[in-house]
Structures are given as C-alpha cells and as structure tokens.
Amino acid sequence: MGAKYVGVLTAGGDSPGLNAALRGIGKAGLGLYDMQFVGFLDGFRGLMQNRTIRLDEKSLSGILTRGGTILGTSRDKPHKMPVGGKYLDMTDAMMDTYERYHLDALVCLGGGGTQKSALRLKNRGMNIITLPKTIDNDVAMTDVTFGFDTALGIATEAIDRLHSTAHSHHRIVVVEIMGHNTGWLALGSGVAGGADVILIPEIPYNVNEIADAILQRSRGGKRFSIVAVSEGAMPVELAAKKNAVEEKLRKEEDEDKREKLSGELVRLEEERSNSTLALTQNLEKLTGLESRVTILGYLQRGGAPSAADRLLATRLGTACTRLLHEGRYGVMVAARGDGMEPVPLEEVAGKRKTIPMGHPWLESARSVGTCLGD
C-alpha cells in the first residue's frame, strides 16, 4: 500500500542540495499523489522531541536555491542520544512519535551515519526510505551524493585563488580540504585545480617524498607549490600505528583492554587532527621554502547548491516519492547514471565508498606528474 502520511528529516552535517531534495519530495508528493508531509526539526532529535513543521506548498516555495536545510539538522543518533548529561537509547520515543502522527513512512536525508540510524529504525518497525547526501561523496552503493559537486567547486575555486599568492611569494601553500575518511573531495579539486601534491586518507604519505617532489619543481624553475590535503590524510608512521591498534581492538575480547585500546585510538585521532599543521612545518624545514596553511573547513558546505546538485537532489527526491507511492520501503534511493536504483539499507549501512587504487582520477593525477605522497 502506498504512503499518504509521510515524515521527513535531515540528519548529520548540513549539505548543499538538502532543500532541493525536500522540495522534490514534497512537491511531487503533494501534486501527484495527494500525500501529506510533516518535517521533523533538527534530525532525529526532533523526531524524539516531537518538534515539527508542516511541509506544504508555502514552506517548500523558494527553497530550491538555498543552502543548508530548512528543517535544521544534528548528528544525534537514535540509540545514543544525549539526554540530561547521559547517552540514552531513545528509539522507543521516536517510535511513539511515528505512531502518534499515524505515519506510513519516514524519509531520512543524510550520509553514512544517517543510513545506519535509519536501518535501526527500520528494524524497530518503521517504514523507511533514505536519500544519500554528503559533501564527502563516501556513501556506499550510490554513484554520487548530492552536496559533493557544490563542495568540489568551492574547493577548486579556493585552490585557483591560492595559486596567485603562492606564485607571488614563492611559497608552499598547503590547503586542507574536508574528507575525514575518504579523499574524493581533495582528489577531485586537486586535479581540477592543478595542485602539485594531493594527499588523501587512502594513501598514507611520506613527507620526504613530498619534499623531494617540491624541491624538484624548484630546481626546474617552479618556485611555488600547492599541496591539497584531505583532513584525514596521515603520514605512513601514524597510519601504521592506527591500523595496528584497530586490528588489536577487533580481536580483543577483554573489556578493560578494549577500553585502553579505544583510548589509544582517541589519542591517535587527536594526532591526526594536527597532521596538516605538522606537515606544513616539516615541509618548510625540509625544503627551506616558506610554507603557509589554509584550512577551508565549513566554507565548503556553505552557499547555494550547484546546478548539478539541484538536478541530482530533485531527481532523487521525486524518485523517492514514486517509491513511497509504490510502498517500497527499507531502501536508499541511489543514483545510477541518469536514473536511480532502490538499494536495501542493509547493503548500505556501515559501509563506506573509498577511492579504489585504480580509479581514473588517481591515474590522471599521476599521469600529469602530481605527487600523491607515496
């Protein structure tokens, strides 16, 4: 049976294209299938607290070009919700809200964490459909996520602008780009922006190799270099330590030892968060060239979505409405070429789309002489 009463929420980090997707879901559902929509504010927390707005023609009007999300968002998880200074499982409270509104389905727009949370709610008894959004482009089982193209353009423009100051002052300019676990954004913008060095989480780097590549450029008369680095990129030594601790944690059954290993992972994560600054300082020492760092941060998430993201979000949003009408639940609406494919949440949750070593973007980067730190 097709859905008539539908809840919608946006969760995780904000991303360009969320409003376009909400508009696509809402306008198609209202116009084609006489559906009614209630939006829950601030992600899963709004579902728990029963904080809502009505998604009607008026609220959906004029939002296609707006960044962010009119529903607000948060990173709260249904099973680990901060309440009164503690982390509690609030899944039952969310189920109560779902039933109070007599919802036929709940649509969750989000990245990898949202896919896992949505699967939990599906297993609890809700009819769930998700849409893949994140600027990191790391959601499994979809060709692309909306938000990625916009962030890619912003990061590329930043690299373009940094070229002039790097050239004028004969500097190394290190630009940190978002991408905690995957390097799609740094690799794509690095290739598009002509970065001389691109560092990504998938390929641990050797700082001496990077310094040698920069010095070789300098000896060839190129007295500046642009280094595009994912926030999650790591030197080989740190990557080896982290992998070893994670492997021990997977095998360890003793709770006290697991807690100690988890603490070690936190410490290594803190070290990784400072790795871009350390890299910049080390490159200056090794090359003798003045080095500066620029951290783009949340700038990459802001502003109006690109045309490509508006198209993608609208396409996936309207496809979601068709699935709601057909009563097809427990799936993520994945982008497949110019179409879409409903993928079971079990095949998406807990997985991450990383850059394969034979990916054409990597091959192109190496072919034009870009140093990848290995």
Residue 102, exposed/middle/buried by CB under 10 A (0-12, 13-18, 19+)? Answer: exposed
Catalytic residue (one of 76, 104, 136, 149): 136
SS3 content of the chain, % helix, strand, coil (to 5): 50, 20, 35
Element (H, E) at 32: helix 18-33
Residues 323 and 33: their CA atoms lie apart, in Å, by: 11
Q: Which of 122, 49, 118, 111 is nearest to 77 (CA)?
A: 118
CA dihedral 29, 31, 36, 41 (to 10 degrees): 70
Residues 243 and 263: their CA atoms lie apart, in Å, by: 14
Residues 176 and 229: their CA atoms lie apart, in Å, by: 5
Q: Which of 173, 169, 149 is nearest to 160 (CA)?
A: 173
Residues 185 and 310: their CA atoms lie apart, in Å, by: 18
Query: 97, 34 in Cβ contact below 8 A?
Result: no
Token output for 48: 């728990």
Q: Is residue 136 annotated as a catalytic residue, yes or no? A: yes
Residues 198 and 333: their CA atoms lie apart, in Å, by: 32
Q: Which of 64, 322, 294 is nearest to 175 (CA)?
A: 294
User: What are the residues whose beta carbons fall under 8 Å from the beta carbon of 356, sequence distance 6 or more?
Assistant: none
Residues known to be catalytic: 136
